[in-house]
A and B are shown apart, each in its own frame.
Chain A
Amino acid sequence: MNNPQLNANGELQHLLTIEGLPAEIIQHILDTAHSFVGVTEREVKKVPLLRGKSVFNLFFESSTRTRTTFEIAAKRLSADVINLAIATSSQTKGETLLDTVDNLSAMHADMFVVRHASSGAPWLIARHVAPHVHVINAGDGRHAHPTQGLLDAYTIRHYKKDFRQLAVAIVGDILHSRVARSLIHALTTLGTPDVRVIGPQTLLPTGVERLGVRAFNDMREGLRDVDVIVMLRLQSERMRGPLLPSAQEFFKYYGLTTEKLALAKPDAIVMHPGPMNRGVEIDSSVADGKQSVILPQVTFGIAVRMAVMSILGGT
């Protein structure tokens, strides 16, 4: 199969989506991230791998956490980081996406981290750039958010060790979620036997079962005996038309409360990619509770992004 992310030797050239990535590459990223966790805990939190390289953060869609963690990751690899606030740049003056990329390439960019509201934009850039330039998808439309999927997988592996024993439930707005898609591909590739998506029918993509998951409309049924619960943000800004009666109604049926959490295994972990809406998809008592690993996810995200950048930069 022709995978535009891999070079002729089967090495990772760009990271655009987890779909179709071999399990060995995913494992290699997670293993490498494990070594970077140690780096982030020492006196000098830097290694020299990307010294002299320039990483451009190209965010056509707003983000604080993802952009910041990419920036920290690149800086800890000793790269120079240039952040572009596209909303205030030449794109608003009519420049095309590829002209912007050409101009930045002329400034000797070595890596682009791209977030875009349109699915496929990072792929378009990856096809366009010179062979030594690498592209990382930091979220494109509803399509994919591979580093989030990888950091979720890293977090699950950190707490639960072996994917081949696990039941994982992803809950909420699956329809608009690139995070859900990326995580589902990571989990199934790594051999997770029981992946479930839970949400109202209006927020589940048609034919979601084809991704190798079981779909539930009843949260109480879907959460039974799971090891991992991943709550998703209700993406009201992407919704067109009335998909939900109200946020309050959503919370009643799909909000994670202490009482619903009790249906999962006693040692189940609770994850959320952020930003979370307390009282919409998750209750504060759960978000701040002892089963929550939402903040460790953020910390692991830096190590995972360091791993991805260092693997790409050496290809």
Chain B
Amino acid sequence: MVKPALPDAELLVNELVARLRPVIDDRTAMIGIHTGGAWLAQRLHRVLGLTVPLGTIDISFYRDDYAQAGLHPRIKPSQIPFDVDGRHILLVDDVLYTGRTVRGALNEIFDYGRPAAVSLVVLADRGGRELPICAQYLGATVSVPEDRMLVLARSDGDVFTLCLESNE
């Protein structure tokens, strides 16, 4: 089997920064989804110099597989340190797959208030959507075998890499 070549995550981050820079202003807010999306959002938030403090959310309380899979064992608190009402929000995740995580994130954000708009920023789209969701700002489309998970890794020096893990 040929090992699929994965794109360089750092290059994709640079491309996202270039695409986002023209659309942000001092009212633009950003929310990263735990865990990989939060790492990516931290980086984008810093490089873009956004002034509204960064939000992070853990969508465990909004997962649609709670009845089958139970509560996630390691939940981090969600923190949205700005008023969501009327705000343009960039929602950031590392990998887009079924779309169910984004669905949960949207539901959670709307429990904080009514944003003016939400745009989705994603580093890698691996297809396989089960909901009508797409990224407005996308790093790359990646082909991944169905039995593998595409995940973002972060080194101690804050260097991102995309890698494949076997499904547990």
Contact = CB atoms under 8 A, between A and B. Distances in A.
Interface stretch (A29-37, A121-129, A187-195, A252-260): A29-37
Q: Chain A: interface residue count, which band?
A: 20 to 34
B35 to A, nearest CB: 14
A35 B61 contact: yes
A31 B74 contact: yes
Interface residues of B, number: 23
Contacts, number: 52
A49 interface: yes
B75 A46 contact: no
Interface in A274-315: 310-311, 313-315
B58 interface: yes
Contacts of A32: 71, 75
A210 interface: no
A240 interface: no
A49 B70 contact: no
Interface in B8-57: none
A47 B62 contact: yes
Interface string B75-113: 111111000100000000000000000000001001111
Nearest to B78: A38
A39 interface: yes
Contact of A35 (B69, B75, B111, B113): B75
A48 B77 contact: no
B71 A31 contact: no
Contacts of B62: 47-48
Given A31-B74, A35-B61, A43-B111, A314 B66 contact: yes
Contacts of B84: 43
Interface of A: 11, 28, 31-32, 34-35, 37-39, 42-44, 46-49, 310-311, 313-315
19 contacts: A28-B73, A32-B71, A32-B75, A35-B75, A35-B76, A37-B77, A38-B77, A42-B80, A43-B111, A43-B112, A44-B112, A47-B62, A47-B111, A48-B61, A48-B107, A313-B66, A314-B67, A314-B70, A314-B71
